[in-house]
Amino acid sequence: MTTLVTRPEAVVEPPEEAHGPSGLVKWITSTDHKVIGRSYTITAFLFFLVAGSMAIIIRTQLASPDNTIVSQHVYNELFTMHGSVMLYLFAGPFAFGGLANFIVPLQIGAPDMAFPRLNALSYWLYLSGGIIMLLGFVTTSGAADFGWVAYAPLSNSINTPGAGPDMWIVALVLTGFSAIFTGVNICATVFYLRAPGLTMFRMSIFTWNMLVTAILILIAFPVLTAALVMLWCDRHIGSHIFTVAGGGVPVLWQNLFWFFGHPEVYILALPYFGAVTDVLAVFSRKPVFGYKGMIFATIAIAALSTSVWAHHMFTTGTVLLPFFSIMSYLIAVPTGIKFFNWIGTMWRGSITFNTPMLFAVGFLVVFLFGGVTGIFLASPPVDFAMHDTYFVVAHFHEVLFGTVVFGGFSALTYWYPKYTGRMLNDFLGKISFWLMFIGFWVTFVPQYLLGEAGMPRRIAEYLPNMGWTTLNRVSTAGAYMLFLSVAVMLVNFVEAWRRPIPAGDNPWDAHTLEWATSSPPPHHNFYWIPPIRSERPVWDHYHPEHPVEREHPPRTGGDEVAAARSTARPDSRAQFGSAATARGSVNPEGPSHEPRAAGDPGDDHEGQS
């Protein structure tokens, strides 16, 4: 069923809601970005629980030296699948499949994603890829056990034979295509479906970050897919791209993989940066500080992140150390800008600490230290000392857990009312936050110390006389706390489902367009859109007397009386001049001109051709 979508110009009576399919049929056939976004979110969260459970087993094994809760083989499968599921099936899809899918069209006033059926295809590729990856566990060889980076030649058919590793490869190709399709979809949506007046420099930071993420996906994922195809050829049709014996170059795999792998960690991080930025602004009741600087920083991070891949290869002895070192350091500059802008956003604000805000501040605190230790590792000599130790494990959990879980929970609790129309319990949310915040440091500070004491990563057992036992015990205890925190969050979801508290359209007094429609939004999203005269249309609508203060009113700020404009640009738009409104003033009655017939084929404002 195809619906012709027209954009409302003023308040429109909600049409009779079309009664489409429901239940399982709806889940399978829907191409509505909200249904798909919700499916993505739930699926990704389930994968998070799966990978989290693996982490608990890993930590339990490491709680004692020479432990044999799982065999070495199973341990190797577990950390490989923990890393793979977390990165490929949870962190990324949760952001660009779940949050972006649901929120980006709403934030730009679009009725859906640009390519709804491609969007649905993305989800099915992702789901089948995820299931195939996990099914590796039931093959005779077991799941893949070469680490989430699958270094050649360990990943070839001699060293890691069997169906499980092949399923890992196929799963990554499927989810990789799903990510690429989503990337295309987000770019097209942002470029072509924005509401009138919503210029690029009025998009929320979340939408901006998603756009940049989508571009990064398009740069990075094809390289991964190509590398996986090469690996498959090596495994199955006897090519020798990555084997020395056949004249291949094993280190090529590392170059290809990390050319994808480092942008990938920013593909995971940028969406959550964006979400946290929105949350900080809303709960401080202030606009984002340094809005343009924030966008510049996002683009700079994305660009730099694609020129630093070999900082993961410092110890191979084959890379240009100073180049990759300085490029990695330079990322600290835009990241620093972001930090100060986040602080500037809270500065002199009026901050309330609901659950989303707590998680957002938690993200700031945690991510900061992850970033600082990242700077250490960008120094090749320090990396020689710390590479592949638990110092690195602690570092990347601090950045990944900080963005994906703290940032992700912040986003999830912030948009939960929009997703479902219900509020979460703030008290349970806070308990969950504090458990997570404390548990996090208890888990990962000992891992820093273990790394400094020389404990390598990816080892299933260690000798009792190495002096690592106590720190490992503490870390394991912290992991159990994290488990508890997630359990409390789950209870919160169940509570909200069993005893709904209606949320209303705009429970947080928020800024951006998604809060202008109902919760959850109707099919095709909007019956009414406020005038867009800044990056905070909904705020401007509810607080017309509190617009953004600008030092230098920009020429494009919309401050001018639009009547002046209609004389300056005597094109077809002049006929609407009478409806012009100054910034901030609201005209809920709608403009006073003849509405255009819906479906008017003469509409030339889309500008596609």
Partner 1 sequence: MPPRRRAHAKAFGRRGPILVLVGLALAAGGCTYPTFGASHGADVQGQEIGKLYSGMFMAGLVVAAIVWGLIAWSVFRYRRKKHDNSIPRQFQEHIPLEITYTILPLVIVIIIFAFTVITENEVDAVSKRPAQTVDVTGYQWGWIFSYQNANGLTLRTQGAVRSFPAAKGYTADVYPQLVLPEGRPTKIVLRSADVVHEFYVHAFNFGRFAQPGVTNVFEFTPVQTGVFPAQCSEYCGLYHSEMLFSVRVVAYPRYESWLRYQEHHLNQIPKHYPLTQR
Partner 2 sequence: MKAEGTVLLVIGAFFGVVAIVYWFWSGETSGTAMLTGAFLLGLLPGSYYLWWSRRMRPRPEDDPHAEREEGAGVVGAFPSSSIWPFVLGLSAASVGLALVFGSWTAIVGFVVAAAAVIGVIRESRRGGVV
Q: Which of residues 85-124 bind ligand HEM (CB under 6 A)?
A: 86-87, 91
- Choosing from 171, 276, 360, 404, the residue that interacts with ligand HEM (CB under 6 A) is 404
| Site track 313-332 with partner 2 (rule: CB under 8 A), x = hit | ------xx--x---------
Strand partners, 456: 389
369 binds, among ligand HEM, partner 2, partner 1, none (CB under 5 to 8 A by kind): partner 1
Which stretch, 25-33, 164-172, 213-221, 258-266, contacts Cu ion (CB under 5 A)?
258-266
Whether 277 and 291 have beta carbons less than 8 Å apart is answered as no
Which 132-151 residues touch ligand HEM, going by CB under 6 A? Answer: 147-148
DSSP string, 565-589: HHHH--SGGGGGGGG---TT---TT
Q: Least distance to partner 2 from the beta carbon of 115, Å?
A: 9
Q: Which is nearer to partner 2, 81 or 496 (CB)?
A: 81
Q: Which is nearer to ligand HEM, 86 or 108 (CB)?
A: 86
Contacts of 303 (CB under 8 A, 6+ apart): none
Cα distances from 311 to residues 375, 494, 499, in angstroms, run 11, 43, 50
For the chain, the first-to-last Cα distance in angstroms comes to: 26
Residue type, 245: A
Q: Least distance to ligand HEM from the beta carbon of 233, Å?
A: 23
DSSP string, 205-249: HHHHHHHHHHHHHHHHHHHHHHHHHHHHHHHHS---SS-TTTT--
Q: Least distance to ligand HEM from the beta carbon of 475, Å?
A: 7
Say whether residue 286 binds Cu ion (CB under 5 A).
no
Range 52-55 contact pairs with CB under 8 angstroms and sequence separation of 24 or more:
52/482, 52/483, 52/486, 54/78, 54/79, 54/81, 54/82, 54/85, 55/82, 55/479
201 binds, among ligand HEM, Cu ion, partner 2, none (CB under 5 to 8 A by kind): partner 2
H/E element, 40: helix 33-62
Distance separating alpha carbons of residues 305 and 374, to the nearest angstrom:
13
Which stretch, 50-58, 98-106, 515-523, 562-570, contacts ligand HEM (CB under 6 A)?
50-58
Residues constituting the chain: 609
Which stretch, 182-190, 252-260, 395-403, 580-588, contacts ligand HEM (CB under 6 A)?
395-403
Could you tell me which of 234, 259, 54 has the C-alpha nearest to residue 149? 259
- Choosing from 82, 311, 312, 422, the residue that interacts with ligand HEM (CB under 6 A) is 82
422 DSSP 8-state letter: B
Which stretch, 53-61, 165-173, 219-227, 508-516, contacts ligand HEM (CB under 6 A)?
53-61
Could you tell me which of 37, 125, 132, 41 has the C-alpha nearest to residue 81? 132
- Choosing from 33, 262, 387, 583, the residue that interacts with Cu ion (CB under 5 A) is 262
Count CB neighbours of 229 within 10 A: 13
Say whether residue 387 binds Cu ion (CB under 5 A).
no
- Choosing from 183, 356, 531, 584, the residue that interacts with partner 2 (CB under 8 A) is 531
Say whether residue 168 binds ligand HEM (CB under 6 A).
no
123 binds, among partner 1, partner 2, ligand HEM, none (CB under 5 to 8 A by kind): partner 2
Whether 313 and 377 have beta carbons less than 8 Å apart is answered as no
Count CB neighbours of 22 within 10 A: 9
User: Which tokens in the block code for residue 6?
Assistant: 């027209």
400 binds, among partner 2, Cu ion, ligand HEM, none (CB under 5 to 8 A by kind): ligand HEM
Which stretch, 81-89, 231-239, 495-503, 565-573, contacts ligand HEM (CB under 6 A)?
81-89
399 binds, among Cu ion, ligand HEM, partner 2, none (CB under 5 to 8 A by kind): none
Q: Which is nearer to Cu ion, 114 or 270 (CB)?
A: 270
Return residues touching Cu ion (CB under 5 A): 262
Residues that bind ligand HEM (CB under 6 A): 52, 55, 58-59, 79-80, 82-83, 86-87, 91, 147-148, 393, 397, 400-401, 404-405, 443, 457-458, 479, 482
